[in-house]
Amino acid sequence: MLIFDAMKRFALLLALLGFLSCGRQETVELSLDEKLALTHAQSRFSSPGVPRLGIPELWWSDGPNGVRAEALWDSWAQAGWTSDSCTAYPALTCLAATWDESLAGEMGICLAEEALYRGKDVLLGPGVNIMRLPTSGRNFEYMGEDPFLAGKMAAAYIRGVQSKGVAASVKHFALNNQEKARARVDVHVDERALHEIYLPAFKRAVQEGGAWTVMAAYNRIWDSHCSENSRLLTDILRDDWGFDGVVVSDWGAVHSTAAAAAGLDVEMGTSTDGLRDNPLATDYNAFHFAAPYKEKILSGEIPADVLETQVERILRLHGRTTLSPGRGRGRFVCPEHAALARKVGEEGIVLLENRGGLLPLDAARTLDILVVGENAVKKMAVGGGSSSLKAKYEITPLEGIKAAFPLSRVRYERGYVGDPGEVYWGVSSGQDLTDPRTPGRLVEDAVAAAAGADVIIFVGGLNKSKNQDREGRDRLSYTLPYDQDTVVEALVGTGVPLVYVNVSGNPAALPWHGRAGAVVQAWYLGSEAGTALGAVLSGRVNPSGKLPFSWPSALEDTPFYGNERTYPGILREDGRIMDVYYDEGIFVGYRWYDHAGVAPLYPFGHGLSYTTFAWTDLRTSVRRGRLRVSLSLENTGDRAGKETVQVYVGAPAAGEGASYERPLQELKAFRKVSLGPGESQRVHVEIPLPELGCYDSAQDRFVTVHGTYVVRVGASSRDIRLEKQIEL
């Protein structure tokens, strides 16, 4: 049967290639209605094929970190299947925190295998929108603040997904950097910031990752919706970058048939903003690319060539996915996928502080461990928006800690009540976390339980409830919700050593951080959350994660504080459109903190280890259009560990032989290295010289400035171990 199916797909593919080889005659066998049908949805998550010619439907699935549960044909409501519980992988902020391209590729492969098993053809991810705001609700789905890191990790993820014949859909193109009023925002950004900060990750996803689909965002740019912005979808994406795939709309992001001529190929989710149902959303013939589009083609208002081009791209996508002869069957919720989810979590957890070497806790000793905090028992796979998952299982932090310390007495206290339960679009976490105690009593009980404890592990942070880490909403405050600071302050006051574990996809204010013994950033870790956390706390795994974003002490340190022009925007007189001005230009994330002379609480790239490393003998050379950098890295501790070599380059500043204002430094290369105790390795990286350039708006191109550059190599953007000047 498998051989027969492969032969059948191969025959269909040959026919399809025959269509594509005939130029504009490739769709001669399709009727106008069949062509139009290919360009818009037929259900919430599928678009039609051409049954008469054996071209199957395309099935799309949310899934940046897992394949989403089945929805009803015309609704966001769940279909009620019992066979659609997936492996929940860590959120993409955690994946980015691994700084490991090979691991990103492995995660892509596993996601594709689960998608294949479920009959999905396009996986809607990864998201690479730059973390501009530390309070944006969807940051947990993205890969941080730096375009180089995000682009490299995304490209590897995409190659992994597509190696299995499943298309990745890089999103949200472009400048979808806030969730508040996302469908009404009109972004005003200068050309340098656009090309140096907000587009490069997408460009790498297309050119290095080979993405087969790109998703157009909700927002506007240059007073034009992204879905109908010809400069974005045609001039930049196709003409400049050479993209030959399909552009699909975000669900409900199409506003007119003009989107077709602008470069959009497939319209999904019209009459819904992606979060709410609308009766019109089930009338697929009312979509802009259906009856209205047909009328304009028949009248000659839209040239028939526009539709022909769309169909050509869609058929090419079928050739890469549904009709690919080498496409397998996939596998679902298997031990290998669980192991990979656990590994990504272990590699992505970041040790932010470790005063007095409090961590790791000795699993061979009998300890009295008090675990406090709702996030220790709350399952996080459900909720947050389109990335919400129906996980087959989810090991909580409390369960993982108990398993990691089998000889110890592990007790639990709630400490605070945040979100007692979560049901999202019909999927339930299966938990009822209601607690009748008052907030004051919860704190008192936690403090009383601390008596006699050897260590307190407080597991707090954010969750995926409204106005926290959640699609469609930004956070309203930078402080920890549910008055967690009061609980932590009270526990610190007991004198018992405290480990604070922050579960989130975003930073938050930690006013007591200097009095906590250790601070750990644990992200949303998916099915193996507790196991990964327990492994790091016990030292079975040496932490090696690095922050993919800067962690400010307070919002006052950011360029957006108290400035509605930069966020959330200024409402126009029409009461609909919000104009948001990216006045900070290229100074985003660590570039801003370096430029403003402000120290973040934890810098970009920061992450501690249970061992130590020595950095020596930095060498640089320029050969054949590449900057070559090498150094010696030695593990000088008594534990095996991994360190990420981060290479930053500072370009000539304006006034020093250059005419462009430049950041102090920018990440240009990284390499994660594994070393045993006492082991050393020569680490080599190469940087193409064009990567050192900046965008010249007047010339509409990148230029490389001659002068003195500084190569800085270190463990974070603020922990530079070696540096050297070079002349270019």
Convert the pLDDT of each residue in 473-491 to its tens digit: 999 999 999 999 999 999 9
**366 and 408, same domain (yes or no):** yes
Beta strand 58-62 with 122-124: parallel, antiparallel or unpaired? parallel
Q: What is the pLDDT of residues 327-369, one digit of tens each?
A: 989 999 999 999 999 999 999 999 999 999 999 999 999 999 9
Q: What is the pLDDT of residues 22-39, one digit of tens each?
A: 444 444 489 999 999 999
Residue whose C-alpha is closest to residue 645's, from 603, 616, 624, 622: 616
Terminal-residue alpha carbon distance, the chain: 61
**113 and 252, same domain (yes or no):** yes
**106 and 241, same domain (yes or no):** yes
User: Which structure tokens are listed for 491?
Assistant: 């526990």
Domain span at residue 707?
613-727
How far, in Å, CA of 120 to CA of 677, rounded?
Answer: 45
The C-alpha angle with vertex 723 and arms to 717 and 725, in degrees rounded to 5, equals 120
Q: Is residue 604, in this structure, part of any structural domain at all?
A: no
**pLDDT for 2:** 43
Query: Which of the four pLDDT bands, split at 50, 70 and 90, describes residue 278?
Result: low
Whether residue 238 has pLDDT greater than 50: yes
Clarify whether 250 is annotated catalytic. Answer: yes
**pLDDT for 412:** 98
Q: What is the count of structural domains for the chain?
A: 4
Q: Is residue 712, in this structure, part of any structural domain at all?
A: yes
Q: Is residue 328, in this structure, part of any structural domain at all?
A: no
Whether residue 662 has pLDDT greater than 90: yes
Query: Which of the four pLDDT bands, split at 50, 70 and 90, describes residue 427?
Result: confident
**456 and 571, same domain (yes or no):** no
Whether residue 77 has pLDDT greater than 60: yes
Q: Is residue 410, in this structure, part of any structural domain at all?
A: yes
**580 and 702, same domain (yes or no):** no
Q: What is the mean pLDDT of residues 182-204?
A: 97
**379 and 509, same domain (yes or no):** yes
Q: What percent of the chain has pLDDT over 90?
A: 87
**476 and 574, same domain (yes or no):** no
Burial label, 579 (beta-carbon count in 10 A; 0-12, 13-18, 19+)? middle
Q: Is residue 325, in this structure, part of any structural domain at all?
A: no
Rg (CA), the chain: 26
How far, in Å, CA of 223 to CA of 402, rounded?
Answer: 55
The C-alpha angle with vertex 630 and arms to 646 and 707, in degrees rounded to 5, equals 80
Whether residue 679 has pLDDT greater than 90: yes
Q: Is residue 678, in this structure, part of any structural domain at all?
A: yes
**pLDDT for 424:** 78
Whether residue 448 has pLDDT greater than 80: yes
Q: What percent of the chain has pLDDT over 70?
A: 94
Helix (H/G/I), strand (E/B), else coil: 202:
helix
Give the residue with greater pLDDT, 516 vs 25: 516
Q: What is the mean pLDDT of residues 691-716?
A: 94
Whether residue 5 has pLDDT greater than 70: no
Of these residues, 62, 100, 250, 485, which one is catalytic? 250
**pLDDT for 1:** 42
Least confident of 202-211, 479-488, 608-617, 656-665: 656-665
Q: What is the mean pLDDT of residues 385-408?
A: 96
**pLDDT for 7:** 45
Check which CATH number belongs to the domain holding 643 and give it: 2.60.40.10
**90 and 127, same domain (yes or no):** yes
Whether residue 659 has pLDDT greater than 80: no
**316 and 379, same domain (yes or no):** no
Q: Is residue 211, in this structure, part of any structural domain at all?
A: yes
**pLDDT for 15:** 54
| Max CA separation in the chain (angstroms) | 82
**pLDDT for 431:** 87
Average pLDDT over the chain reads 93
Written as one letter, the residue type at 88 is A
**pLDDT for 13:** 53
Check which CATH number belongs to the domain holding 397 and give it: 3.40.50.1700
**pLDDT for 276:** 52
Whether residue 277 has pLDDT greater than 50: yes
Beta strand 708-716 with 641-650: parallel, antiparallel or unpaired? antiparallel
